[in-house]
Chains A and B, each alone.
Chain A
């Protein structure tokens, strides 16, 4: 469903607004989310999430959604599953190095990010994928933890601060 995926990037700003509403609702249902997360009741939530996000973003259910930082272009569709930006192999026409007929996921992400309320979000460093969470619900994770927990949290040492 590349057509839907491209539509989503073009409408990243609106989708982000919609997502913020969903996020607020999710936090509202936190007690419920906490109870069903990791149990058999998570299954219907996963199916719903897969259906919605699968249609809109070609979501692969990595379980740690980063869409709000990637201009609504799912980084898991990158053949190298890059979470932090484009590789150096992007073709001059903006297509993927690995799949020459596909638009680079990160060329899309960059375009989508420009339209979003926080265009700097794409610069935040994403943690590597937690493969034990693949297939789980990112919505329940957000509801339970308050965020999808994908960003790298820094504990800087003193030496690290001022020098390259």
Chain B
């Protein structure tokens, strides 16, 4: 078995494979045509790297990459670059989220070079929530770039080896560029076009906001397919377990951009064990999403419920076909990177084809 390849890249960079932008595992899984799973790591409010590793370990057995959020909800936590670097150092594939809310173009471009130097292969370009929702609403909102000009900037850095100013970069960052999409908020007709605009600006993968409303998501994807955007990027649909009907209501009214249909909340309310029902619902959503043409994977966001992610993904069955025959017995052991999410699946074993 090969060693963790992201850690290898950090120590001794190799040029990406032909047609690839990065050396990262996420890009390779997606380009090989396999259904990908990413998950969000809830950032600690501490300076202890073990807090990151404990959470990463729980997620890693079912994930192709782990998202390090950038002060999401405008709350201060350990930075995304810090978490991404810690993850890369330990051999995990990180998706470094970059929000435009807190840093200007000078800071962001420098951070991306630094992150790439530390072995980070994936960058997710975000606008960012407004400061008013977070724990420091008196902060100055920066928004020097927006998600799309950030994508253009990073693509220019990577492909043309130039900063936004035009100044040359001696070793451009090998990064796989991502962006977010929220199909469930107005202006609805604009949303698929906006996804296509992000793709035109350089987005190679898309992670969507929580999908609870399947009919709305199917409609969105139909329009995306009509535009052909699904052939020019990899779309990972966002999912997550709801802890209870109360938690769902709270999220809906307090977290910007979250759309949870009343029927979903009613289903949780009617259940004996709401937490269990939320988990079951999430598993079902993954199974439904997998059947939608143009969807390349799922992005699991389990806010403060990371311990559920592995079982949700396992139960959904999306990784079952990807598992190597020889390892079927050992896969799933906690922290074993050669389990379901084996770093090297190019071994020619026909069992791992989807």
Contact B149 A84 (CB under 8 A): yes
Residues facing A in B233-261 (CB within 8 A) are 233-234, 256-257, 259
Residues facing A in B283-333 (CB within 8 A) are none
Given A84-B147, A159-B159, answer yes or no on A123-B193 (Cβ-Cβ < 8 Å).
yes
A97 partner residues in chain B, CB cutoff 8 A: 129-130, 133, 256-257
Contact B130 A84 (CB under 8 A): no
| A54 interfacial by beta-carbon distance below 8 Å | no
Contact A163 B19 (CB under 8 A): yes
| A2 interfacial by beta-carbon distance below 8 Å | no
B354 partner residues in chain A, CB cutoff 8 A: none
- Taken residue by residue from 147 to 164, chain A's Cβ proximity to chain B (1 for < 8 Å, 0 otherwise) reads as 000001001110110011
Contact B257 A90 (CB under 8 A): yes
Contact A85 B190 (CB under 8 A): yes
Residues facing B in A68-111 (CB within 8 A) are 79-94, 97-98, 104, 106-107, 110-111
- Taken residue by residue from 200 to 230, chain B's Cβ proximity to chain A (1 for < 8 Å, 0 otherwise) reads as 1100110001000000000000000000000
B48 to chain A, nearest CB (A): 31
How many chain A residues touch the partner (CB < 8 A)? 39
Given A81-B143, A89-B185, A97-B256, answer yes or no on A152-B127 (Cβ-Cβ < 8 Å).
no
A67 to chain B, nearest CB (A): 17
Contact B143 A89 (CB under 8 A): no
Contact A128 B105 (CB under 8 A): yes
A107 partner residues in chain B, CB cutoff 8 A: 186-187
| B82 interfacial by beta-carbon distance below 8 Å | no
Given A90-B257, A97-B130, A164-B234, answer yes or no on A85-B148 (Cβ-Cβ < 8 Å).
yes
* Residue of B19, B143, B147, B234 ringed by the most chain A CB atoms within 10 A: B143
B63 partner residues in chain A, CB cutoff 8 A: none
Contact A160 B149 (CB under 8 A): no
Given A79-B130, A125-B197, answer yes or no on A88-B209 (Cβ-Cβ < 8 Å).
yes
B42 partner residues in chain A, CB cutoff 8 A: none
A89 to B259, CA, bound (A): 10
Residues facing A in B182-196 (CB within 8 A) are 182, 185-187, 189-190, 193-194, 196
Interface residues of B (CB under 8 A from A): 19, 100-101, 105, 127-130, 132-133, 141, 143-149, 152-153, 155, 159-160, 164, 180-182, 185-187, 189-190, 193-194, 196-197, 199-201, 204-205, 209, 231-234, 256-257, 259
29 CB contacts below 8 A, A to B, read A79-B141, A81-B146, A82-B146, A84-B146, A84-B147, A85-B190, A86-B185, A88-B185, A89-B129, A89-B130, A89-B185, A90-B186, A90-B257, A92-B185, A92-B186, A92-B259, A98-B132, A104-B187, A106-B190, A110-B187, A123-B196, A128-B145, A128-B149, A131-B144, A159-B159, A164-B199, A164-B205, A164-B232, A164-B233
